[in-house]
Amino acid sequence: MKMKILALTAVLTCFFGIGSTHASALDFDHKTDFILNDSTKSFVLENISDVPAIEYFLGYQFTILGANSCSVELKLQRMGLTGQYTTLSTKQFRGSWFDFSAQDKVSIDPFHRYRIFAEEHSENCTSVRVKGSYGIQYFHFD
Domain residue extents for the chain: 22-141
CA distances from 67 to 9, 39, 76 (A): 64, 14, 20
- Specify whether the CB–CB gap between 128 and 64 falls below 8 A: yes
CATH 2.60.120.680 matches 22-141: yes
Per-residue pLDDT tens, the chain, 142 aa: give them.
767 776 676 666 655 555 444 344 446 788 999 888 767 889 898 767 667 777 888 899 998 888 777 888 899 999 988 989 999 999 998 888 887 788 888 888 878 889 999 988 777 777 888 899 998 888 766 5
pTM: 0.73
Closest listed residue to residue 28, CA positions, set 85, 79, 84, 104: 104
